[in-house]
Structures are given as C-alpha cells and as structure tokens.
Amino acid sequence: MTRTRMGLAVVATGAILLALAGCSGDSSPLPSAAGRATTTTPPPEQAPGKAAAPDKSCNPRASLKPTGALPEPGHMPAGTYMAEIQKRGRLILGTSQDTLLFSSRNPFTGKVEGFDVDMGRQIAEAIFGNPDKIQIKVIGYDKRVSSAADGSVDIVADTMTANCERWKDVNFSTIYYEAGQKVLVSSDSTAKGMADLGGKRVCAASGSTSYDNIAKAPSKPIAVARAAFGDCLVAFQQNEVDAISTDDTILAGMAAQDPYAKVVGAKFTEEPYGMAMSQQHPEFTRFVNAVLAKNRADGTWTETYKRWLGAFGPAPTPPAAEYR
C-alpha cells in the first residue's frame, strides 16, 4: 500500500482521534479591543525569512510559590477562586479533543481523555475530593490564551508552552511536562532531522511557534502552513509535503497511527508545558502549584505518565518546580 493510499485510510478512520488542532506552539496574539485578530494567517508556503527574536524578558518556567499547606478537599478558603469553583460544583478545563495521548476524544466512550485531561482532573480532585467534578470545554489551540485570560475556563491544560510573551496575558503553573520540537518524515526517508531538509516542504499549523521555528532553520526548508496539524498529516500522506515538524508529543500521536511515518532527530527546541490561568486569581495559581508539588512527591505524576506515555519508555523524573 502506498503512503497516499494509507493516508486516505487513516484520514477516514482516524480524523476523529487526530485532527491535532491543539498544538503547543501558538504565536497568535490576543484579539484586539475591537475583537479582530491583529495578525493575518501566513501564506500556505514561504521561503524562510527573518523571524522575530523570542521574548526573553522573564524566566517562563518560574511560577508563583504555594503558601502554606493545601486545604482539605471540599473546604476551600472563603474569598478564594477555589471557593468560587467549589460553589459552582465543577472545574472548567479548557483543552483540545484531538491531541492523541494528551487530550483526545475516545471513540468508544465519547469522553475526552489523556495526560492533559488528567492534570485537570487532579486539580478537581484537590478542590472537591472527586476528579469527576470537571467540565471539559473544547477550545481551539489559538484560543488557549484568551480563554484563560477572560475567565471563560478556569484553567487550560493543552500541550501549551509557557513563554514570556504569554506570561504577559496569563499566569502559568510550574512546568508539568518537558516537550521539544522534532521532525516526522516517511519511514523510508534518510533524513535525520531538520538539518537534512533544506529546500524540502515542512508543514506546521498556521500561527504556531513550530511554523516560526521551521522558518528560522539554518538548513532553509520551505515552511508550509496548514490550518491545523491534522491538515499537515493529510498533506504528508498525500505527498504534498515532505515532513511535519512540531512537538515530539504531537508527532508521537501521528506516528502511532501511520506505519509509513517515523519521528527522527533530537529535540531542537525546548517546549515546557504549563497550565494557564487568569491573572486575576493569583491564589488559584499558587493552589495549582501546590497540587503539582504534591503529585510530584507522591508518585501521582509518574503514574499519570505511565498510563498515557509509558509505551515510549520509562517515566522520566518530573520537571522540577521553579518559583518567582
């Protein structure tokens, strides 16, 4: 079976599981006051140009330090945002429904599940004593910052890289997962990484930092934009592009569904994932960080990794917390 024919089969059977709109990199700005986007979508293909320098004005890994012990579930301190969530009766988690292993809809149960979803469920358990007291709100990857900032969700866990630009609009938790950008190519390709893709068409989602990184690659690949990474996968399977490049976590989900694809090379970026929250409730950020600290210490993080990502090898040491 050719890769193109295989692609048609995968698209027909796997589109529900893996549209992969929830990529970690998102260079889209918040909407302007008038509600319009302040940038336009990149063209479908372009030769690499000079990309804007990354914002290094902060340590994006450093979050707000917890204060005191965690309150008992069901007894959130009066006047806190946690008490407001408790009164409502559910935590609202913003995430995607199509990032395999992290937040994808189970075709048999209809439920959205994965590593990121379990991060949210652990926060719900800390508030209520019940991880099921959670409402999952599916959001577009380009709405992750705005959804956290405007309070339309309580927290976003969606393979989202914490960076200084985003810290201007939202608070991030401490880092809960270390990802990095790699490359996916056909199984018969001799390419070992981005350095071998000069002049080749490499796909990423429009407005993503992954797309920006392709454009900055010294080997000068041709950056190809698609609306979402699911569209990149279709383009790859139909031989319209030579490779896809984004976070290794997302590429692993793609390779798991396409036996004619493989992930190659070492990580050439750092993509530290954090959960995003409104800046209006710093006590909630501190609370979330206390939950993450507890789960690192008692093995909950490791068990969550084994459940969703254990097929890729032994669980690493959880990312160490850094505080401001």
Residue 83 lies in a domain: yes
Residue 37 is predicted with a pLDDT of 33
pTM assigned to the model: 0.80
Q: How many CA atoms lie within 13 A of 199 on its CB side?
A: 0
Whether 40 maps to a domain, the answer reads no
**For residue 224, how many other CB atoms are within 10 A of its CB?**
26
**Position 303 in a domain:** yes
Q: Which residues of 152-170 are buried (b: 16+ CB within 10 A; e: fewer)?
A: ebbbbbbbbbbbebbbebb
Query: Considering the domain boundaries, does residue 276 fall inside one?
Result: yes
pLDDT at residue 34, as a whole number: 35
Residue 121 sits in a domain whose CATH number is: 3.40.190.10
Task: Give the count of beta carbons closer than 10 Å to the beta carbon of residue 314.
Answer: 8
* Residue range of the domain that includes 162: 72-178+272-312
CA distances from 37 to 32, 76, 90, 288 (A): 6, 38, 31, 30
Tell me the per-residue pLDDT of 290-301, one tens digit each, with 9 for 90 and over.
999 999 999 999
Q: Strand, coil or helix: what is 296?
A: helix
Within a domain: 190: no
User: What is residue 3's predicted lDDT score, i.e. its pLDDT?
Assistant: 53
| pLDDT for the residue numbered 17 | 41
Containing 210, the helix (H) or strand (E) segment is helix 209-216
Q: In whole angstroms, what is the distance from residue 20 CA to residue 235 CA? A: 13
Span between the terminal Cα atoms of the chain, in Å: 54
Counted domains in the chain? 1
Residue 133: inside a domain: yes
pLDDT of 141 reads: 76
Q: How far apart are CA 260 and CA 135, in angstroms?
A: 37
The answer to whether residue 187 sits within a structural domain is no
Would 63 be classed as within a structural domain?
no
Residues of the chain with pLDDT under 50: 1-2, 5-43, 48-49
Q: What is the pLDDT of residue 11?
A: 43
